[in-house]
C-alpha cells in the first residue's frame, strides 16, 4: 500500500530558515549562505520521508516566502513597479514583491483559505507578458534525485492560481482573470517538459479552490485547462489535490472527469461528506489519495478509526489504487514532537507533529497490506483512551457557565452613537484621533530579558524593572510624537495568543511548536486540550502601570476569543463554538477588571475572525453568529464611557461587513493600505457605519517609510466615504516586526498628516 504527503513545513524544526532569511535581509549573510541552509532543510525533509517508507514524496513545496509567489515568479508575472527586465528572477525582485523596498510597496498579502498562513496575491491583467522565469521546481526535483529520492513536484494549479489572483491596479475590477488561462498554460507546459526530461513520473497540481462555491464557468475552466495540458502530461501521472473542506458534488464531478488525470487527493478530516461521494461516484481505474491524517492540527491520529475508513475505501477503489495521505500540507502544523522536552508525558502522548504524522501515514499504509505494527497501534489506542477520560480535560463549572450563555445575545444596552458621545465627553479627543494597534518593536534586548526570566536567570524584580523601563520608553516616544490614544507596546508578550494562553487553564505550550504565518514570521500556537477558565488577572498590572505614566488614554490590550481560538491548536473532542464561549467568559472577566482599574479604552483584537469563516457560503451564518456573539460576551458588562476597540487585519472583510457592524464595538481599526484600500469600496457602495473606524494608513509589514503626503492622500480618500467624526488614523497592524528606525519616522508622518487635515477641516 502506497503513502503520500501533500506538503511539509519549511522553516525547520528550530526555525533555521527564519533566521537565515532575516540574516540575509539584514545584510549579515550572503545569498549563498541562505541557499545552503535551504538545501540542508530540503535534504533532511526528503530523507526523513524516504526513511518512513513514503512513496510519493513532494518537492517544490519548499519556499523562501510563499508558494503562490513562487508560481508568480515561475510564470514571470512581475508587476512593472519592480523594474524586472527579464531573465531568471533573483532574490532582489522576489523579496521586493513580498516585502516591498525603499521605493515601492509590496504586493498585497492575504489569508490562505481559512488558515493563518498568508499568501502574496498575484496582480494580473490583459497586458501581462508571461514568461518562464523561475526554474525552481525543476532544480529542486533534480536536487532530490541526486540524493536518491524520487519526488512528486507540486504546483499551485493553473485555475486555482488565477482564481486566487486579483486585477492589477488600473485594470477593471470586472476583468475575467480566467481569460488568462491560455496565456499561462504554455509556461506550465514548459516546466512539465523539463520535468519529464529530468525523469519525473508524477506531478501534483493543488487545485484547492475546488472546495469553494464555484460558478459553472469557473468549473468549466478546470476541464479546459486539463484538456489543454493532457498531451504535455503524456507519460506522466497527474495528481490533483484538494483540501480544507468537502468538495461540492458539482465540483467532484468536474474533478473526477478531468482529462489526463490519474489520481485525486481529498481531505477526509474536514471533508466528511466527500467520503459519501467517493463511495458512490469515484471513477474506476483512478488513484484515490485518501487524506485521513490531519494536516491542520496536532492531535495524534485515531489509527484504528482511520484504518476502518481506509478498509472501506479499499473495497471501492481496489487495493492497488488506494494511497494513504495527509488531509493537506503539513506546513500548518508544528514540525517535530521530539523537540518538546517540557510537555508532560500525558499530553505529549496525545499529540503528533509533522514528523509524527509522516510516521502515522506510513504505519497506516503498512497495516493495509498486513504489516501492522501492533505495538504502535496499541500505544496509539491507549493514548486515545487516556485523553477521553483524563480529569484535566473537563471542568464542570466552566461547562455550566458556557451553557448558560444560550438564550441571550449579550448586546450592550445603549446604542453605539450614544456611547460614543459619552466617551467623547470623558476622553476629549480631537477629530481624526491617532493611535497605534498595540505592539512596538521587539528589540534583541527585550527578547533577551524575557528569555532570561523564563529560564530563571533573572529575578521577578529585575524582570519587572526591565519591562517597566521599556514601557516608559514607548509611552515617552508616543507623547513626543503627539499620538492621542497610547499603547504600552506589549514588551511583556512574545505573541498575542501565547501570552494569554499561558495564563488560562486548559492550555498547553510547546518549546519549538513553530508554524509559519508569512515570510520569516512564525507563531507558536498554544494547544487547547481542556475546558478554559481564567485563574487570575492577566494584563491589569501592566496596563495600570502604563496608565500611571501618562495623562493620555492608555489602551488595555487583549486578544479576543475568536482569535485565540483560530490561532491555537484546538481540541477536536467538542464543537469549536463551545470552546470559544469558554474563552469569551475568561476575557470578559479580564475586561471588567481592567475597567475597575481605571482603563477607559480597551482593545479586544479579533484579527482572525474573518480567517475562521468556512469556505462554503452555506456554513457562514452559523459561524458568524457564534463568533460575533463570543466577541459581544467579552464586553457586555462595561459602562457606556468605556470605549471598546477591536482590530482586524489581512483578510477580505467586505463580505462580512454587516457581521463586523453587528459586533457592536465602539471603534474598529482594520487593515486597508496593503490591500489597495479594498475596504473603502464597501462604504462607497452605500454601507453605513456609525461606530468609530480606523482603516490602516500604511503597511507595517514592509520596511518602507510612507511620506506625510502619501498618508494625507490616504486619509482624504477615507474622508470621501466616512464621516469625519468617526474616522481614526492608525497603521495597518502592530509594530512588533519593525525597527525603531522605521517606526519613528512613519508615525511622525502619520501624525503630521492627521494634523494637516485637522487644520484644513477646521477652516
3-class secondary structure per residue, 667-727: EEEECCCCCCCCCHHHHHCCCCCCCEEEECCCCCCCCCCCCHHHHHHHHHHHHCCCCHHHE
- Identify the active-site residue in 118, 645, 701, 712: 701
Q: Is 652 known to sit in a ligand binding site?
A: no
In the numeric block, which cell numbers belong to residue 619? 456554513
Whole-angstrom distance, CA of residue 656 vs CA of residue 622 = 13
List the one residue out of 531, 594, 585 whose CA is nearest residue 561: 585
Q: Is 490 annotated as a binding residue?
A: yes
Pairing relation of β-strands 555-559 and 601-605?
Answer: parallel
Phi-psi label, residue 695: left if phi above 0, alpha if psi -120 to 50, beta otherwise: beta
Classify residue 424 as left (phi > 0), alpha (psi -120 to 50) or beta: alpha
Query: Residue 605 annotated as binding?
Result: yes
Flag whether 437 is marked binding: yes
Q: How far apart are CA 404 and CA 401, in angstroms?
A: 5
Q: How many CB atoms lie within 10 A of CB 315?
A: 10
- Residue 686: what are its φ and ψ, rounded to 5°? 105, 0
Contact between 286 and 321 (Cβ < 8 Å): yes
Phi-psi map region of 12: left, alpha, beta (phi>0 left; psi -120 to 50 alpha):
left
User: 310: part of which helix (H) or strand (E)?
Assistant: helix 303-317
Beta 601-605 vs 287-293: how paired, if at all?
Answer: unpaired
The per-residue DSSP string of 517-547 comes to EETTEEE---EEEEEEE-SS-SSHHHHHHHH
Q: Is 580 annotated as a binding residue?
A: no
483 is annotated as contributing to ligand binding:
no
> How buried is 625 (Cβ within 10 angstroms: 0-12 exposed, 13-18 middle, 19+ buried)?
middle
Nearest to 555 by CA among 602, 496, 622, 623: 602
Q: Angle at CA 562, nearest 5°, toward 660 and 595?
A: 80
Q: What angle do CA 18, 21, 24 make, to 5 degrees?
A: 150
Please say whether the beta carbons of 200 and 143 come within 8 A: no
- Print burial letters for 164-191: b (CB count within 10 Å at least 16), e (below 16): bbbbbeebeeeeebbebbebbbebbbbb
Whole-number Å distance between alpha carbons of 17 and 11: 5
Q: Output the nine-digit C-alpha cell for 375.
A: 505495538
Please state, in angstroms and rounded to a whole number, the distance separating the CA atoms of residues 504 and 191.
50
Whether 135 is a known active-site residue: answer: no
The answer on whether 488 is annotated among ligand-binding residues is: no
- On whether the CB atoms of residues 645 and 603 are closer than 8 A, the answer is yes
Query: Cell triple for residue 138?
Result: 525543476
Q: Does the annotation place 733 within a ligand binding site?
A: yes
- Is 472 buried (19+), middle (13-18) or exposed (0-12) by CB count in 10 A? middle
CA dist 463 to 455, 470, 536, 736, Å?
12, 11, 20, 19
Query: Is 18 among the annotated ligand-binding positions?
Result: yes
671 marked among binding-site residues = yes
β-pairing verdict for 118-120 and 109-111: antiparallel
- 647 marked as binding residue: yes
DSSP for 627-678?
Answer: HHHHHHHHHTTS-TTSEEEEEE-SS--GGGHHHHHHT--SEEEE--TTTTTT
Cα(60)–Cα(26) distance, rounded to whole angstroms? 26
Number of other CB atoms surrounding residue 709 within 10 Å? 12
* β-strands 569-570, 527-533 pairing: parallel
Q: What's the rounded Cα separation, in Å, for the pair 68 and 622?
A: 30
Residue 522 annotated in ligand binding: yes
Annotated binding site for L-methionine: 437-439, 490, 605
Annotated binding site for 5-methyltetrahydropteroyltri-L-glutamate: 18, 116, 521-522, 567
**Any idea which residues carry the catalytic annotation?**
701
Annotated binding site: 18, 116, 437-439, 490, 521-522, 567, 605, 647, 649, 658, 671, 733
Amino acid at each position: 500500500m502506497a503513502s503520500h504527503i501533500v506538503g511539509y513545513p519549511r522553516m525547520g524544526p528550530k526555525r533555521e530558515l527564519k533566521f537565515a532569511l532575516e540574516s540575509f535581509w539584514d545584510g549579515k549573510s550572503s545569498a549563498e549562505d541562505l541557499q545552503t541552509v535551504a538545501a540542508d532543510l530540503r535534504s533532511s525533509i526528503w530523507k526523513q520521508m524516504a526513511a518512513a517508507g513514503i512513496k510519493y514524496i513532494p518537492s517544490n513545496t519548499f519556499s523562501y516566502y510563499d508558494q503562490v509567489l513562487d508560481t508568480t515568479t515561475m510564470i514571470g508575472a512581475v508587476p512593472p513597479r519592480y523594474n524586472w527586465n527579464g531573465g531568471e528572477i533573483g532574490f532582489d525582485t522576489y523579496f521586493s514583491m513580498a516585502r516591498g523596498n525603499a521605493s515601492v510597496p509590496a504586493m498585497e498579502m492575504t489569508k490562505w483559505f481559512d488558515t493563518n498562513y498568508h499568501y502574496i496575491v498575484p496582480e494580473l491583467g490583459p497586458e501581462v507578458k508571461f514568461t518562464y522565469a523561475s526554474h525552481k521546481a525543476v532544480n529542486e526535483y533534480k536536487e532530490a534525485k541526486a540524493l536518491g529520492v524520487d519526488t512528486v513536484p507540486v504546483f499551485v494549479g493553473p485555475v486555482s492560481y488565477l482564481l486566487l489572483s486579483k486585477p492589477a491596479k488600473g485594470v477593471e475590477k470586472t476583468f475575467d482573470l480566467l481569460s488568462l488561462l491560455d496565456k499561462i498554460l504554455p509556461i506550465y507546459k514548459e516546466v512539465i517538459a523539463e520535468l519529464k526530461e529530468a525523469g519525473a513520473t508524477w506531478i501534483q497540481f493543488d487545485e484547492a479552490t475546488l472546495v469553494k462555491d464555484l460558478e459553472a464557468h469557473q468549473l468549466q475552466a478546470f476541464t479546459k485547462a486539463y484538456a489543454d495540458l493532457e498531451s504535455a502530461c503524456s507519460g506522466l501521472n497527474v495528481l490533483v489535490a484538494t483540501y480544507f473542506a468537502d468538495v461540492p458534488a458539482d465540483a467532484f464531478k468536474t474533478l473526477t472527469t478531468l482529462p489526463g488525470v490519474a489520481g485525486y487527493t481529498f481531505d477526509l478530516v474536514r471533508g466528511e461528506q466527500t467520503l459519501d461521494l467517493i463511495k458512490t461516484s469515484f471513477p474506476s481505474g483512478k488513484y484515490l489519495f485518501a487524506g485521513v491524517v490531519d494536516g491542520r492540527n496536532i492531535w495524534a491520529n485515531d489509527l484504528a478509526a482511520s484504518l476502518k475508513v481506509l478498509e472501506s475505501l479499499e473495497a471501492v477503489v481496489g487495493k492497488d489504487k488506494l494511497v494513504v495521505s495527509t488531509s493537506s500540507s503539513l506546513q500548518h502544523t508544528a514540525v517535530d514532537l521530539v523537540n518538546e522536552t517540557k510537555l508532560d508525558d500525558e499530553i505529549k502522548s496525545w499529540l503528533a507533529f509533522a514528523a509524527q504524522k509522516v510516521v502515522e501515514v506510513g504505519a497506516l499504509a503498512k497495516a493495509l497490506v498486513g504489516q501492522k505494527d501492533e505495538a504502535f497501534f496499541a500505544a496509539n489506542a491507549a493514548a486515545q483512551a487516556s485523553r477521553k477520560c483524563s480529569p484535566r480535560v473537563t471542568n464542570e463549572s466552566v461547562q455550566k457557565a458556557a451553557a448558560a450563555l444560550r438564550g441571550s445575545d449579550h448586546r450592550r444596552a445603549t446604542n453605539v452613537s450614544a456611547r460614543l458621545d459619552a466617551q467623547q465627553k470623558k476622553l476629549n479627543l480631537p477629530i481624526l484621533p491617532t493611535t497605534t494597534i498595540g505592539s512596538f518593536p521587539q528589540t534583541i534586548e527585550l527578547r533577551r530579558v524575557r528569555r532570561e526570566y523564563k529560564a530563571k536567570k533573572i529575578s521577578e524584580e529585575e524582570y519587572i524593572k526591565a519591562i517597566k523601563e521599556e514601557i516608559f520608553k514607548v509611552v515617552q516616544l508616543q507623547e513626543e510624537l503627539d499620538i492621542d490614544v497610547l499603547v504600552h507596546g506589549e514588551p511583556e508578550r512574545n505573541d498575542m495568543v501565547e501570552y494569554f494562553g499561558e495564563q488560562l487553564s486548559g492550555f498547553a505550550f510547546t518549546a519549538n511548536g513553530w508554524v509559519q504565518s508569512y515570510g520569516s514570521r512564525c507563531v507558536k500556537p498554544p494547544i487547547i486540550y481542556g475546558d478554559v477558565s481564567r485563574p487570575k488577572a492577566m494584563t491589569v498590572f501592566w496596563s495600570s502601570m502604563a496608565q500611571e505614566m501618562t495623562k493620555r488614554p492608555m489602551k488595555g490590550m487583549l486578544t479576543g476569543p475568536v482569535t485565540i481560538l483560530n490561532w491555537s491548536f484546538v481540541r477536536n473532542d467538542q464543537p469549536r463554538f463551545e470552546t470559544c464561549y469558554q474563552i469569551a467568559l475568561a476575557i470578559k472577566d479580564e475586561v471588567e477588571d481592567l475597567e475597575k482599574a481605571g482603563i477607559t479604552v480597551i482593545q479586544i483584537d479579533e484579527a482572525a475572525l474573518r480567517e475562521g469563516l468556512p469556505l462554503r457560503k452555506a456554513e457562514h451564518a452559523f459561524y458568524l453568529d457564534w463568533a460575533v456573539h463570543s466577541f459581544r460576551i467579552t464586553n457586555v458588562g462595561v459602562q457606556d464611557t468605556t470605549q471598546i476597540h477591536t482590530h482586524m487585519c489581512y483578510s477580505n472583510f467586505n463580505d462580512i461587513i454587516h457581521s463586523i457592524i453587528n459586533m457592536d464595538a465602539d471603534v474598529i481599526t482594520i487593515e486597508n493600505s496593503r490591500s489597495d484600500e479594498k475596504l473603502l469600496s464597501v462604504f462607497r457602495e452605500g454601507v453605513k457605519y456609525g461606530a468609530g473606524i480606523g482603516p490602516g494608513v500604511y503597511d507595517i509589514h514592509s520596511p518602507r517609510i510612507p511620506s506625510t503626503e502619501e498618508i494625507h492622500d490616504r486619509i482624504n480618500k477615507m474622508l470621501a466615504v466616512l464621516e469625519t467624526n468617526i474616522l481614526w488614523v492608525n497603521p495597518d497592524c502592530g509594530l512588533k516586526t519593525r525597527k525603531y528606525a522605521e517606526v519613528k519616522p512613519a508615525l511622525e508622518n502619520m501624525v503630521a498628516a492627521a494634523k494637516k487635515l485637522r487644520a484644513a477641516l477646521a477652516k
